[in-house]
Amino acid sequence: MDSQLLRQIFATATGTSRDIQNLQQRFETMTTTVEKVQRDLYSSRDYTKGALNEATAARREVETMNDEYDAGEQELHVRDGTSFPTEDARDTVSVCELQELEMIDNTGVGLGEENLYSKAWRGKERGRQILHSSPEESYKKLPSYCHMLTEGNPGTIAHIELDPNNRFYFFLAFGPSIRGFREHIRSVICVDGRHLKGWNKGTLLLAAAQDANMQIYPIAWDVVDEETNVSWYWFFMKLKDIVNDSNQPVFVSDKKNSIKRPITMLFPLSHHGACIWHIEKNLIARYSSPNVIFLFKSAALAYRVLEFQQMMRQIRTIRPAVPSYLERDGPSTWSPANFVGNRYNIMTNDIAESLNSVLKRQRSFPITSFIQHITTLMQQWFFEQRNASTNYHTALASKMEGELRQSFDASATLDIQNLDELVSRLAQV
């Protein structure tokens, strides 16, 4: 065979081999690209579902708040229909804001991740705005809402003020809460503050007590721009219209001076107790000793002075610096054995903090919607407690009746001895 022909055949075969290698490389590159596209598609679909869940949650929020509002007109008779959306408005949110997200979720094709998240966020914000109105409109509605609230509920106190520096102060106490506190509730008042979220960017200050069934009893609500000495003083100044200054009231709070000072100034005859949970947290941060923490809790719950002193001596043996720290503010603020007033079983301000946690989701609402939710919550609680009270057959509430019954049953198994005979036998020994 001609050598030139052989060279041509060899060159053709070599070129074909290179083409095959190129095709293999292109195939591998295409395979990698397809896998990447598949991963991106799966990730996008997962992100789409997450965004759809957010938008669906916003829709449920609209429906839930509407149900709460419809159920809330049982006790305080507050009606302000302009603040809540009509059925047509809610339908607009559910269709217009969620339709495209549902289509994308079903087909897997549509907006990019960034646009999809933006769409979900806008849908959620749109639903909130239709439900609660804008923050500016909400502040404008607040005076008329408070007027309707006080007109429909005798004894309700509502104050709205702006100081010369344009700082906002709002105070609210419902008439039924005031009457119930004055007539039936022990005067141990827990006070606490919690930051609001969303457009409000303020702080919620509140005062709460404990009813005869060991349940939370809200007394007063206050919304201010920030938690300062001035805002706490303003709060206690308004609270003075509800709580009389005498040696009976006990205020329980953390160790903030911004709370302690106005109590001393406005309620000089009352007593101030420290929350032992906050003291315990400070001890953990400073000393981190389980034995010290255990002994402190034992001392904080001791009702006899001798038992309290015994615990303090044990603490001094383990960590000599701890008793000095605990005595800095005086054991009379946190030890029931040394406390001057009567704080009963309320050793922490968990009552106020628990009330704050109930409003965790609503703290981002505009001001009027936030107050409307508090109103609805109070309506519901008073309605439920009034119905529950019809089932009480003794002077005690259900929980206290149950505890008394358990103690009575336990005492039935104890041996009873005549005290005179016991003393006589001991004298003969």
For residue 274, give the DSSP letter: E
One domain, residues 273 and 306 = yes
Contacts of 42 (CB under 8 A, 6+ apart): none
CB half-sphere exposure, 344, CA atoms < 13 A: 17
Q: Is residue 18 included in any domain, yes or no? A: no
pLDDT at 117: 63
Last residue of a domain, one of 92, 109, 132: 132
Q: Is residue 275 included in any domain, yes or no? A: yes
One domain, residues 304 and 220 = yes
Q: Is residue 4 included in any domain, yes or no? A: no
One domain, residues 142 and 285 = yes
Per-residue pLDDT of the chain (429 residues; tens, 9 = 90+): 455 554 555 555 555 556 666 666 765 676 666 566 566 655 555 555 555 565 566 556 545 544 544 444 333 333 333 333 333 333 344 444 444 444 444 444 444 555 566 666 566 666 655 555 677 788 888 999 999 999 988 999 999 999 888 899 999 999 999 999 999 899 999 999 888 876 667 899 999 999 888 889 999 999 998 889 999 999 999 999 999 999 999 999 987 889 999 999 999 999 999 999 999 998 998 888 889 999 999 999 999 999 999 999 999 999 998 988 888 878 889 999 999 888 888 998 888 878 877 887 777 788 888 898 899 999 998 888 888 888 877 888 888 888 888 888 888 888 877 777 777 777 776
Q: Which two tokens stand for residue 420?
A: 């005179």
For residue 304, the surrounding DSSP H or E stretch is none
One domain, residues 118 and 142 = no
Domain count within the chain: 3
Q: Print the domain residue range for 412.
A: 398-428
Q: Is residue 225 included in any domain, yes or no? A: yes
Cα–Cα nearest to 367, from 378, 358, 359: 359
One domain, residues 270 and 359 = yes
One domain, residues 101 and 119 = yes
Q: Which two tokens stand for residue 169?
A: 């102060």
Strands 168-173 and 216-224: antiparallel
One domain, residues 220 and 300 = yes
In which region does residue 344 sit, left (phi positive, over 0), alpha (psi from -120 to 50) or beta (all else)? Answer: left
Cα–Cα nearest to 76, from 351, 397, 386: 386
Last residue of a domain, one of 82, 105, 132: 132
In one letter, which amino acid is 300? A
Q: Which two tokens stand for residue 186?
A: 């022990």
User: What angle do helix axes 113-132 and 3-71 make, rounded to 10 degrees?
Assistant: 10
The angle formed by the CA atoms of residues 130, 131 and 134, to the nearest 5 degrees, is 60
Q: Is residue 152 included in any domain, yes or no? A: yes
CB half-sphere exposure, 85, CA atoms < 13 A: 25
Rounded Cα distance, 351 and 12, in Å:
89
Last residue of a domain, one of 132, 159, 179: 132
Q: Is residue 5 included in any domain, yes or no? A: no
Percent of the chain predicted with pLDDT > 70: 69
For residue 208, the surrounding DSSP H or E stretch is strand 203-210
pLDDT at 60: 62
Q: Which two tokens stand for residue 199?
A: 């457009």
Q: Which two tokens stand for residue 251?
A: 């205020």
Q: Which two tokens stand for residue 102?
A: 């549902």
One domain, residues 306 and 170 = yes
Contacts of 149 (CB under 8 A, 6+ apart): 76, 78, 156, 158, 172, 375
One domain, residues 94 and 217 = no
One domain, residues 72 and 146 = no
Q: Is residue 361 included in any domain, yes or no? A: yes
Rounded Cα distance, 130 and 274, in Å:
43
One domain, residues 320 and 196 = yes
pLDDT at 254: 87
Q: How many residues does the chain have?
A: 429
CB half-sphere exposure, 153, CA atoms < 13 A: 27
Q: Is residue 296 included in any domain, yes or no? A: yes
Start-to-end CA span in the chain (Å): 136
| pTM of the complete model | 0.68
One domain, residues 173 and 307 = yes
The answer to whether 139 and 368 are in contact (CB under 8 A) is yes
pLDDT at 81: 36
Rounded Cα distance, 186 and 399, in Å:
17
Residue 210 bridge partners (DSSP): 216
